[in-house]
Homo-oligomer: A and B are copies of this chain.
Amino acid sequence: MIIDCHGHFTTAPRALGKWRERQIKAYESSGFRVLPNELIIDDDEIREAVEGGQLRLQRERGTDLTVLSPDTGRMAYHHGDGQTSLHWARVGNDLISRVCGLFPGRFAGVCRLPQSPGEALAQSVRTSATELQRCVTELGFVGCLLNPDPSDGFRQAPPITDRVYYPLYEKMVELDVPAMVHGTISRNDAVQGTCACYPNGDTAAFMQLCESDLFTDFPTLRLILPHGGGAVPYHWDRHRAMMLDRGRPPLEETLLGNVFFDTCGYHRRGLELLAEVIPARNILFASEMIGAARSVDPETGRRFDDTLALLDSLDTIGAADRQAICGGNALRVFPRLKEVLRHEEVAR
């Protein structure tokens, strides 16, 4: 069984984007709220969006299940206020829930959280914990996205290891769900989204974890760093050296019980490095589709985001490790996936 731990519903029907535009415009011009129930999308539109997109690529590539979350590029939590973000998060999460319901066994939901930048962060973390609880207990979701920079490109938030985030971590531990630390849109001209803001967010988050004792406080908390962990595996010894310089224990001891890396690198040599540097049990197969890279690589004749073919082209990964990377680890990191699969079996 092949589980893709990182997919986004980037092909959502256009009505979603239009609702968001109306929501922002109404609030910013007159303080008026466009409500979540004003979004009308029928099941056929969702089916069409998924069948021609994520599901088609799943079938072509032979992946079984995608852990699906809303389009991160559109999160953009700097608009409006906490209520704006809560409504936007719920709209996105409810849509993911409908995708999961329409294609049972093919998708498992991961929610976005209504985080806010600036002084509203603390309150927004509590709201996020409540939204997470709703998504997990009512919608059957298996995890969440955690945005390391709610200021959307200006790094105006404290580290994710700050105590301000603890109410969320308490809820995650209680529900036994992980978070993928995933940036969102960059509204900073100096930091392009997909190729700079995302990997830089991963790199900065890892260093925050290196410097903290978060996992002493939350020994069962699990975080996934997407995009192959940003620069981290490539600079693994830089981090090792820094921790040694500071007299801290090895990274394997302090972090690798709790931190996981996905395979969204699009680069054969990069993936090879990832699999050599990071233990197989800490790597989760992922494609980030449909997302950052839609082109066909003229050198291989395959789409860049066909990371399964990339993984299978490596002769350095043994069968047991491949199995762990492609599915076993995901079942361990997202234990609620088992329930999703059990429902699927019952339905069959």
Contacts and interface: CB of A to CB of B under 8 A. Distances in A.
B293 A242 contact: yes
Contacts of A33: none
Interface residues of A, number: 59
B241 A304 contact: yes
Interface in A149-192: 149, 153-159, 188-192
Contacts of A54: none
Interface string A189-225: 1111011100110011011101100000000000000
B231 A199 contact: yes
Interface string A47-72: 00000000000000000000000000
A238 B267 contact: yes
A190 B157 contact: yes
A210 to B, nearest CB: 7
Contacts of A236: 267, 269-270
Interface string A104-119: 0000000000000000
A190 B238 contact: no
Nearest to A238: B266
A95 interface: no
Q: How many copies does the complex hold?
A: 2
A235 interface: yes
Contact of A203 (B156, B196, B244, B265): B196
A304 B244 CA distance: 10
A126 interface: no
A101 to B, nearest CB: 32
Interface of A: 148-149, 153-159, 188-192, 194-196, 199-200, 203-204, 206-208, 210-211, 227-228, 230-231, 233-242, 244-245, 265-270, 273, 276-277, 292-295, 297-298, 304-305
Given A200-B231, A269-B273, 7 more contacts: A190-B208, A200-B203, A203-B203, A234-B234, A235-B265, A235-B266, A242-B292
13 contacts: A157-B190, A159-B189, A192-B204, A195-B242, A196-B206, A199-B203, A200-B203, A227-B235, A237-B266, A241-B305, A242-B292, A245-B294, A267-B277
